[in-house]
């Protein structure tokens, strides 16, 4: 079977339908009054900004209808057994489609590798399209949950693997007490096995976030990746600083906890809402 059809069938099977068209669901906005991309949420009604970066664990909160968000890293550096990878402007461009759905376009503007032996590669990355649907927690509830299918489209550049990939992300959040939050995430990915088929890879993560001051935040995170390859374990920590309600800066470090994981990564970036 064609790989693209296989991955699309995989996503369709994993992604539940939110509701029948035009039929109100308890707790969701009425189809007649809901905001959309063409009927945007008034700016003075926007929710608090809830970035998906810099930690691996995604937020279940979506972008307000009609609002745009750019999340990007100035520089991301990774080192593993002497091989180094640099990425400039690893970008997530997000737009709110409805009160509960946003569309995300994810790409790395420029990546280059510096291997310990041999020649490196550089170029623009593949492009990933993601659709986040918030089931609850968008409006200040103590918990939140979303479903988050995605598909990666190859660009056939020097750093592309030339393969269609996809999966489903399930992010959950909970307020533990004032100024302390917990995020949990499960992710299932369909990745090429090198033999014209796909294997399943599972990502799981947990993050604790702390409000140190009104503007300064701290996070600590554990990430695990399992599948056909040996299990990878990571620990991350970092800081966020809110310049305004629409601009957040961040920086952090990720350390591999076993031999299968990358040794270390350092990153810094921003989230800007328009």
Residue 99 lies in a domain: yes
Residue 23 lies in a domain: no
In tens, the pLDDT along 112-145 reads 999 988 889 999 999 999 999 999 999 989 999 9
What sign results for the dihedral spanned by CA atoms 52, 68, 86, 119? positive
State the CATH number of the domain containing residue 236.
2.40.160.40
pLDDT confidence of residue 18: 45
User: Using CA atoms, how far apart are residues 128 and 152, in angstroms rounded to an integer?
Assistant: 4
Residue 35 lies in a domain: no
Residue 41 lies in a domain: no
Residue 53 lies in a domain: yes
Identify whether the C-beta of residue 76 lies closer than 8 Å to the C-beta of residue 56.
no
Residue 21 lies in a domain: no
Other beta carbons within 10 Å of 59? 24
The answer on pLDDT for 87 being more than 70 is yes
pLDDT confidence of residue 106: 98
Q: What is the mean pLDDT of residues 159-177?
A: 96
Of 255, 189, 250, 200, the closest CA to residue 222 belongs to 255
Quick one: pLDDT band at residue 2, thresholds 50, 70, 90?
Answer: low
Please, where are the H alpha helices in the chain?
Answer: 3-14
Quick one: pLDDT band at residue 109, thresholds 50, 70, 90?
Answer: very high
Q: 20 or 173: whose pLDDT is higher?
A: 173
250 HSE (CA, 13 A, CB side): 27
The answer on pLDDT for 198 being more than 60 is yes
Q: Provide the whole-model pTM.
A: 0.87
Calculate the average pLDDT of the chain: 90
In tens, the pLDDT along 21-65 reads 333 344 444 444 589 999 999 999 999 999 999 999 999 999 999
List the domain range (segments joined by +) for residue 105. 3-16+48-273
Domain count within the chain:
1
User: Using CA atoms, how far apart are residues 251 and 258, in angstroms rounded to an integer?
Assistant: 23
Other beta carbons within 10 Å of 150? 19
pLDDT confidence of residue 196: 83
């Amino acid at each position: 079977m064609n790989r693209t059809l296989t991955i699309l069938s995989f996503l369709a099977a994993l992604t539940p339908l939110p509701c029948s068209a035009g039929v109100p669901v308890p707790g969701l906005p009425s189809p007649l009054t809901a905001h959309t991309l063409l009927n945007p949420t008034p700016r003075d009604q926007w929710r608090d900004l809830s970035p998906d970066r810099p930690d691996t664990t995604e937020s279940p909160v979506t972008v307000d209808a009609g609002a745009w968000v750019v999340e990007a890293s100035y520089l991301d550096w990774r080192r593993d057994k002497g091989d180094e990878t640099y990425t400039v402007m690893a970008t997530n461009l997000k737009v709110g489609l409805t009160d509960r759905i946003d569309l995300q376009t994810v790409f790395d503007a420029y990546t280059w590798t510096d291997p310990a032996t041999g020649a490196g590669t550089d170029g623009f990355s593949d492009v990933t399209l993601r659709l986040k649907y918030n089931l609850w927690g968008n409006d200040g509830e103590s918990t939140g949950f979303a479903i988050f299918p995605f598909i990666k489209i190859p660009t056939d550049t020097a750093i592309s693997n030339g393969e269609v990939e996809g999966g489903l992300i399930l992010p959950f959040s909970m307020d533990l007490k004032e100024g302390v939050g917990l995020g949990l995430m499960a992710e299932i990915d369909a990745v090429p096995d090198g033999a014209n088929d796909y294997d399943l890879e599972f990502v799981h993560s947990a993050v604790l976030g702390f409000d140190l001051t009104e503007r300064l935040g701290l996070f600590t995170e554990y990430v695990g990746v399992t599948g056909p390859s040996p299990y990878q374990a990571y620990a991350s920590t970092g800081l966020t600083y809110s310049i305004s309600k629409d601009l957040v800066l961040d920086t952090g470090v990720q350390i591999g906890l076993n031999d299968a994981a990358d040794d270390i990564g350092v990153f810094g970036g921003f989230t800007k809402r328009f």
